Amino acid sequence: MTGKWRLANALLLIAVVLSGCGTPGANQGASLCPGTPAGIPLDPDGCPLYSDADAVPDYRDECPGTAAGIPVDTNGCPRDTDVDGVADYRDACLRTPAGTRVDARGCPLAGERIAIVTNINFDFDHTDVRGDVRKRLSRVIQLLKEMPQIDVQIVGYTDDIGSAQYNLSLSLRRAESIRDYIVTRGIDHMRLSVAGRGKTEPLVSNSTPEGRAVNRRVEFVVQDN
């Protein structure tokens, strides 16, 4: 009985081993990428082709010639974070505001307004930068830090209360106050020039308090450097 028991166990072991072995050649030609859509070019393993090694298969890659190591988007094209037409790997100004025209470096062109800060509420006939105004300027200051390649002119405007000459002088003094405050936040004063336009070029009508608040503003305009 002992000999028969051992023989039975041996036969059982052989059967188990054989059941785990594939028939020679049975998997040849099987795809390693079974979910691949039909009709697209495949490599010898049955997987989509990746010509530029950017992890986006050729059949979905809109930029198949992308150089190795360049970050790409889901379409396989060089990433363009600020959507200015200049890829991040060539963009010297990665946070250009939407809609701003840029040069070959990806930086705003001279004459472009990169920010308009409205509702600049100085106390009447004063130029001190109030706390609420400082908070509103924080994003502009951050933008200037992110784009150290550009110089800007700070242009001040007023509402229509008072004479043209008075408002021209007041707008300039307010632009100077904004500049001086921005310098205290770490921006090189050599990058900042100022101008005052008084009550000219209102954005909206001055017929309401809300309209006058909008027109009391500063604009940041890119300059040649």
Residues 202, 143 share a domain: yes
Which pair of structure tokens corresponds to residue 170? Answer: 């007041």
Specify whether 66 is located in the same domain as 133: no
Directed axis angle between helix 164-184 and helix 131-146, to 10°?
A: 60
- Residues 213 and 126 reside in one and the same domain: yes
Whether the pTM exceeds 0.75: the reply is no
Same domain, 122 and 170: yes
Can you give the CATH number for the domain in which 184 is found? Answer: 3.30.1330.60
Domain count along the chain: 2
Which two tokens mark 146?
């992110």
- Structural domain including 45 reads 41-79
In a domain, 134, yes or no: yes
124 and 72: one domain? no
Whether residue 127 is found in the same domain as residue 173: yes
In a domain, 124, yes or no: yes
Q: Is 202 part of any domain?
A: yes
- Look at residue 8 and tell me if it is in a domain: no
- One domain, residues 123 and 205: yes
Q: What CA–CA distance (Å, rounded) separates 65 from 89?
A: 15
Is 22 contained in some domain? no
Does the residue 172 lie in any domain? yes
Question: At residue 199, what is the residue type?
Answer: K
Q: Are residues 156 and 57 in the same domain?
A: no
- Is 34 part of any domain? no
Instruction: Kindly give the confidence (pLDDT) of every residue in the chain, 225 residues in length, as a single tens digit, with 9 standing for 90 and above.
Output: 455 545 444 444 444 334 444 433 344 456 678 878 888 888 888 888 888 878 898 888 999 888 888 999 989 999 999 999 999 999 999 999 999 999 999 999 999 999 999 888 766 666 678 888 899 999 999 999 999 999 999 999 999 999 999 999 999 999 999 999 999 999 999 999 999 999 999 999 999 999 999 999 999 999 987
Pairing mode, if any, of strands 218-223 and 151-156?
Answer: antiparallel
CA-based angle 69:73:79, to the nearest 5? 65
Whether residues 159 and 205 fall in one domain: yes
Residue 7 lies in a domain: no
Asked whether residue 166 falls in the same domain as residue 66, the answer is no
| Pair (122, 58) in one structural domain | no
Asked if 130 and 189 sit in the same domain, the reply is yes
